Structure 1
Amino acid sequence: MKQLYLEKEIEVPEDLKLTVKNKTVTVEGPKGTLTRSFGNVDFDLSKKGKQVTIKAYYINKKRKAATLAVVGHINNMIKGTLEGYVYKSKIIFSHFPITVEPDNKKRIVTIKNLYGGRKHIIVDIKGEDTKVSVDKDDVLIEGIDKEAVGQTTANMQEACRLRGKRRKDPETFMDGVWLWDKQ
């Protein structure tokens, strides 16, 4: 049976300010401000009091998935501006000590001495509010945008993988910066 109508409601906490204008959602909270446009998805977005309502009509699988993805994005924006996101990565090496140097002003992270190589690996820090810090063998990636924090962590992890003619057995050679905790 085909579903004709889908409606989801999101409760907005008291200490947040959420505004909706032409499918653009802005969330202001104690940690910062996030803005995102959902113009490519076919649904109705409205706000009454402390509730955001998302309605979609003539639902098929793609439209339902897109609408529920918007609900998830708005929930992530609310959580990010209230609490923030912290991803912890571990610097792992067996012989050659790896050095990770974040530069939050230039928005890059430099990984040095991976497998004893002389080439420095440079990884971009995604998002404006994302900050990277190093504490001994832990790398902390913090921010209010879940996608930016996750993408920065994934880029660091992907930069440590050996490709092409330098490819080695991943079960034996595990050097790199690997994600181990999400908060």
Structure 2
Amino acid sequence: MINPLHVDFSLQRKPGWRQKPDATCDVYVVMARDGSGPMYVKVGMSSHPESRLVSIQTACPLPLLRAMAFTCRSTALARAAEGAMHLHLSEHSTVGEWFRFEWGEESKRLLETAMNDLIDQVDGRNLRQIDLSTVSRSVLERRREAEQARSKQLAAAMEKHRVAVELRAPYKRP
């Protein structure tokens, strides 16, 4: 039997959590499937789910097929929503935050209903599909920009070293 979806709002404030009180955070759901096999679903939270999806794909041997996210008004609320979703899907749990479903309409309805209930309970907003191809391209662009910045820093450091060496080099007196 599926656990009823209920967000425990007492989870919002745990001692020692380092969080900005007014920072928004997203709860995401990612689906992966290989061929005609079962569907694997990951539920998590992130301030930048698009960037998070890149590391998820790197760690997941199956291709990511679909991703969606919605915004919560605080990190604590997102954490409570994520926990409620994990509890709700617990009978399908595999490893960590991954859940296994047999492919079919029943599984799709279960996930869709759970997401809609969750959004209603936490007053979530901005439910959106995440375009996985766009995520890959933007991450590659950011990596290229970071690599160019590192190259510039290295060139500047080498130039500084060259100038320092030239200044210290002995010169012939006339």
User: Normalized against structure 1, the TM-score is what?
Assistant: 0.25
| Higher RCO structure (Cα 8 Å, ≥6 apart) | 2
Normalized per residue, which structure has more strand?
1
Normalized per residue, which structure has more helix?
2
User: Normalized against structure 2, the TM-score is what?
Assistant: 0.26
